[in-house]
């Protein structure tokens, strides 16, 4: 499926309450995961990005059997003013695709 088809299908299922994306504050430290950068300036730039836009754990979910289920996720999303925007965060399209596939495989009448 091409990117626009994925986004369109996700939005259609989202409007029916069958899929969703959520951005949750990341619970792990960026520097614990990726280590210290090479310079103090680089470290400060990362800190500034995190303070400005946050550090997010983005989750895609699908609705089945009267509850929400995890489809896919990615953490350490830094530098995005909207971590759920597929035009801004390159991981969102894949998260949407995972939710669509999971919703379709868990429902006979989508």
pLDDT mean over 42-69: 96
CB 52 within 8 A of CB 9: no
Q: What is the pTM of this model?
A: 0.90
Q: Are strands 55-64 and 67-78 parallel, antiparallel or unpaired?
A: antiparallel
Domain boundaries, the chain: 3-105
pLDDT in tens, 22-54: 999 999 999 999 999 999 999 999 999 999 999
**Element holding 22 (H helix, E strand):** strand 19-25
């Amino acid at each position: 499926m091409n990117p626009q088809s994925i986004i369109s299908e996700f939005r259609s299922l989202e409007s029916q309450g069958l899929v969703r994306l959520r951005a949750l504050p990341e619970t792990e430290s960026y520097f614990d995961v990726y280590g210290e950068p090479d310079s103090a300036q680089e470290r400060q730039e990362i800190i500034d990005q995190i303070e400005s836009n946050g550090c997010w754990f983005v989750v895609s979910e699908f609705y089945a059997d009267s509850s929400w289920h995890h489809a896919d996720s990615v953490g350490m999303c830094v530098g995005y003013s909207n971590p759920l925007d597929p035009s801004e965060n390159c991981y969102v399209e894949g998260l949407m695709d995972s939710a669509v596939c999971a919703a379709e495989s868990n429902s006979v009448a989508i």
